[in-house]
Amino acid sequence: MIQNNLGIAYRQKGGTENLVLAIARHQNALLEWKQDTFPYEWAMIQNNLGNAYRQKGGTENLVLAIACYQNALLEWKQDTFPYEWAMIQNNLGIAYAQKGGTENLVLAIACCQNALLEWKQDTFPYEWAMIQNNLGIAYRQKGGTENLVLAIACCQNALLEWKQDTFPYEWAMIQNNLGIAYAQKGGTENLVLAIEYHENAFIVLTPEQFPFDCLLTARNLGDLHFTQGNWELAIQTYQKAIAAIEIIRNWATNDARRQEIVAESMDVYEKMIQACINNGQLDLAIETTERSRARHLVDLMASNDLYQGGDIPEKVREYLEKYEHLQERINLLRSSSQSSDNRELATSGTRWRNSEILSAAIEEINQLETEKQQIWLQLRRLDPILAGQQQVDPISFTQIQQLIDNNSTAILCCYSTWQDT
């Protein structure tokens, strides 16, 4: 039971590393909760494993998720456990929809409709609304006018139970999904409705409270304004998206993930810059350029300023000394492996010896680099800026101007998008 609960906690925490831990914990639980001795609990673990694999994403994991859900149905049958059976049908529907492709979307719709056999509006109103939402997503992904009409109808159904005053988050997600469906439908009237529904979602989905969902909505709405040439509205919307990106980035626990977050969102920055240029706001375009590519450097500068007075905490100082010591050792190994001071006539024996020495040096360098990375991670956890515990403001256009102390120097700023430089 503890292994199962740990698995759920790691999954809720999110991120690839935690999902790997979640899967391991659930598999641990299966060592004791076996199908023949604890059939109900075994099915529960299969469901939870399926959720973890599905959240991890990618075709292979979705295949594993579907297999786990199918396993759960061996024990959670409609006549004996109707609620749980409906839950698995819903989860299968989500997994098939995530997998994509016409065949999988047909299966997703069928699974959701199965769930509605048990999750009815009068008995399970919340769950009924959830299925309506998931059905709407599957119909929308399937595409075509008829399916988009069905998608919109399902979302409108969900709003019968997911109201703004009782379920604000769920209400906002439906507003977002309706916005996407109307935008996909096309035509002036539908685009007006798409914009209206996306704007509604922002009532709840603020960058501070729900950054992931805010980013999704702001990206969709920003793109709508962008394609219509509404530059001012596009800028305002992309600014919300960028605020959400930077909050998400601030939550990341290592540099690699922080850089991934910016890379995944580069289209937002690109379109924001282009919209600024098209709208004649070159100062904001330059600010956004620096904001997208110099974020890590600004963090490091702020961290350096924090310790400018020399008041470095003892633990930080210890890690810095270890880091420098490791770097010195790496430099020494690299220089000695490349040194030309000890050249000799090469025979087969010396070639073998040199190759062996070089391989050992490379192996030691790799090991030291790994140790160095671990120390860096410890350092950033202790540093309130690099650990993301302090928000660092991006550099403004005025601050950039102040870096030039004379009239004969200019900063040349180049930025490449998919279409232009």
Within 10 angstroms of residue 241's Cβ, the number of other Cβ atoms is 27
In the predicted structure, residue 302 carries a pLDDT above the cut 70 = no
List pLDDT tens digits, range 75-85.
999 999 999 99
Q: What's the domain count of the chain?
A: 1
pLDDT band at 345 (very low <50, low <70, confident <90, very high): very low
Give the global pTM.
0.76
Q: How far is CA 22 from CA 4, 11, 25, 26, 55, in A?
A: 8, 6, 5, 6, 11
The mean-pLDDT minimum among 47-61, 253-267, 332-346, 371-385 falls in 332-346
Check pLDDT > 60 for residue 57.
Answer: yes
Q: What is the pLDDT of residue 351?
A: 45
Highest mean pLDDT among 110-124, 290-304, 318-332: 110-124
- Residue 340 pLDDT class (50, 70, 90 cuts): very low
Contact yes or no for 180/220 (Cβ under 8 A): yes
Answer yes or no: is 372 within a domain.
yes
Tell me the mean pLDDT in the region 265-283.
Answer: 94
Domain for residue 326, yes or no? yes
Q: What is the mean pLDDT of residues 93-108?
A: 95
The pLDDT assigned to 352 comes to: 45
| Residue-averaged pLDDT of the chain | 87
For the stretch 224-273, pLDDT in tens is 999 999 999 999 999 999 999 988 877 776 666 777 787 888 899 999 99
Give pairs for 3-8: CB < 8 Å, separation 24+.
3/28, 3/29, 4/29, 4/33, 4/41, 4/44, 4/45, 4/48, 7/48, 7/49, 7/52, 8/48
The verdict on residue 383 lying in a domain is yes
**Residue 17 scores a pLDDT above 60:** yes
What is d(CA 239, CA 236) in angstroms, rounded to the nearest whole number? 5
User: Following CA atoms 9, 11, 17, 21 in sequence, which dihedral angle do they give, to the nearest 10 degrees?
Assistant: 60
* 102 against 407, higher pLDDT: 102
pLDDT (0 to 100) of residue 317 = 74
Q: What is the pLDDT of residue 331?
A: 77
How many CB atoms are located within 10 Å of the residue 118 CB?
Answer: 20
Q: Which of 143-152, 163-172, 196-205, 380-389 has the lowest mean pLDDT?
A: 380-389
Predicted local confidence at residue 369, as pLDDT? 85
Q: Does residue 361 lie in a domain region?
A: yes
**In-domain check, residue 359:** yes
pLDDT grade for 47, boundaries at 50, 70 and 90: very high
pLDDT (0 to 100) of residue 386: 63
Q: Which helix (H) or strand (E) holds 74?
A: none
- Model confidence at 5, pLDDT cuts 50, 70, 90, reads very high
pLDDT digits (tens, 9 = 90+) for 212-235: 999 999 999 999 999 999 999 999
370 lies in some domain: yes
Q: Is 265 among the domain residues?
A: no
Do residues 141 and 96 lie in contact, with contact meaning Cβ atoms separated by under 8 Å? no
Q: Does the residue 274 lie in any domain?
A: no
pLDDT at 49 over 60: yes
User: 112-116, 283-287, 411-415: which has the minimum mean pLDDT?
Assistant: 411-415
Instruction: Note whether 137 and 146 are within 8 A (CB).
Output: no
Give the domain extent around 378: 302-335+353-394
Token pair for 82: 């109707």
Query: How many CA atoms, within 13 angstroms, populate the side-chain half-sphere of residue 364?
Result: 16
